[in-house]
Chain A
Amino acid sequence: MVLRGLTVSVGPGEVLGIAGPNGSGKTTLLRLLATLVRPDRGEGHVLGATLGTSEVYAVRPQIGLIGHVPAMIGELSLRENLEHAIRLAGADPARIEPALRVVGLDEAAHRKVETSSHGMLRRTEVARLLITQPRLLLLDEAFSGLDFFAQELIDTLIDRCTREGGAAVMVSHDPGHIAGRAGKVLNLSAGRLETVT
């Protein structure tokens, strides 16, 4: 069991930060909130759906996750990855070009994932989330290894999400990435949470 005795809630418009050392269960917690991991015990609700039930299928499209490893198909270009995701999400493909311009990839979107930098992959993910507009934004070490511009883009994404009544949860081993961004910060240590601010 990775997480124990954990009670946490995030409301509309809130940004929750969770800090903790490597292996403390941050990613597991985030994947639990993303409905990608089923809880062994306990109860949880995400956007009104009970975790571990088939209700999660209905809310999954309203959850946006930026994970450790960018979720992209290596053989495709950045634009093709974005187009594929947008088509599957049923969003308007006309929004792809404006989103690519916002994240500064309109010139480089033809590049293959394999030859793109970490920052470019992150910016493509931000473009996708700007289009799909999730109500719950989950960020796993999303700021790590990014330049100032890319970090600002993720800040914009969080602002937009929370302004529209959504919520964001970010986890990081580096408290500096959370400080100033999250309204409430929790510390996760060996699977247990404690409030910091």
Chain B
Amino acid sequence: MSFWDQALEIARVDLRIERRMGDVLRIVLPFAVVALLVFPLALGVDLSAVARLGPAVFWAIGILFGMQIALRHTADDRPERRDLYSLLGVDPAARFVGRCLSGSALMVVFLLVLLLATIVLYSPDLPDGWPLPVTAGLLLTAVGLTELGTLAGEVTAGLRNRTALASLIVAPLALPLVIGASQTLESLARDAGILRWLILLVATDLALAVAGVALARPLEEASR
């Protein structure tokens, strides 16, 4: 079985489990929407402030809850399953890519729904022509965050309290993604160039992908 066949098979099974269990779309997403809903209550009835803060709240909640999606494998990644994959000849890099594929798909759906909820709840002043750059930023952020979470899961594999440790790794390293994602919209609103922020997101995604693939095998061996 080729590298990509293995990656796609792992992604397919991940998505099947999600469809059955609904951890992301039936648990994380509703909580994130509730968080979006609660936030304006703290701001009072100043609707202009609510509209102005909408994008920032979207990214804050999106990144925080997105981390839960990105790290969901650290809680259920049992050693027996890792051993089985090893003995079936699964390339650790293919496992990383497979998990990134399924995680990114879920993250994109999550962020898109959250974005729609933000538009409905906050009525933010979005500049003309926002859908394309915002969607591009959202896609790149989703991929980067998933890669980061998957990589953190691999780094902490075999360790006790790995979920907490992985969160501590993800939080600071997600900074370029947070900056790139939020500044894309901010720059668009100020009519400034967004290309550099998209480049930052692409560069971060690529760096994480290269690190994840290159380190997959050494990390797996180190966890033994």
Contacts and interface: CB of A to CB of B under 8 A. Distances in A.
Interface stretch (B55-63, B86-94, B122-130): B86-94
Interface in B170-224: 217, 221, 224
B17 A73 contact: yes
Residue of B6, B16, B86 with most chain A CB atoms under a 10 A cut-off: B86
A164 interface: no
A69 B79 CA distance: 10
Contact of B83 (A54, A57, A71, A76): A71
Range of interface residues on A (Cβ < 8 Å): 20 to 34
Interface in B8-44: 9-10, 13, 16-17, 20-21
Given A36-B224, A37-B224, A73-B13, A88 B90 contact: yes
Contacts of A76: 13, 16-17
A95 interface: no
A72 to B, nearest CB: 8
Contacts of B10: 88
A67 B13 contact: no
Contacts of B84: 71, 85
A164 B85 CA distance: 24
A77 to B, nearest CB: 10
Contacts of A132: 88
Given A36-B224, A60-B86, A88 B1 contact: yes
B214 to A, nearest CB: 14
B142 to A, nearest CB: 23
Nearest to B13: A84
Given A65-B83, A75-B17, A89 B224 contact: no
Given A38-B221, A89-B88, A71 B13 contact: no
Contact of A60 (B5, B6, B17, B87): B87
B81 interface: yes
B87 A69 contact: no
A67 B83 contact: yes
Contacts of A89: 1, 88-89
Given A65-B87, A67-B80, A87 B17 contact: no
Interface string A36-64: 11100000000000000010010011011
A34 interface: yes
Interface string A134-174: 00000000000000000000000000000000000000000
Residue of B81, B84, B86 with most chain A CB atoms under a 10 A cut-off: B84
A34 B88 contact: no
A38 B222 CA distance: 9
A35 B6 CA distance: 21
A87 B9 contact: yes
A35 to B, nearest CB: 8
Contact of B21 (A37, A67, A75): A75
Given A69-B80, A70-B80, A84 B9 contact: yes
A90 interface: yes
B86 A36 contact: yes
A57 B6 CA distance: 15
Contacts of B87: 34, 36, 60-61, 63-65
Nearest to A52: B221
Contact of B20 (A37, A57, A75, A85): A75
Contacts of B21: 75
A75 B78 CA distance: 13
Contacts of B81: 71-73
Contacts of B20: 75
For the complex of A and B, 5 pairs with smallest distance between CB atoms: A61-B89, A90-B1, A71-B84, A71-B80, A88-B88
12 contacts: A36-B83, A57-B217, A61-B89, A63-B87, A64-B87, A67-B83, A71-B84, A80-B13, A84-B13, A87-B1, A88-B10, A88-B89
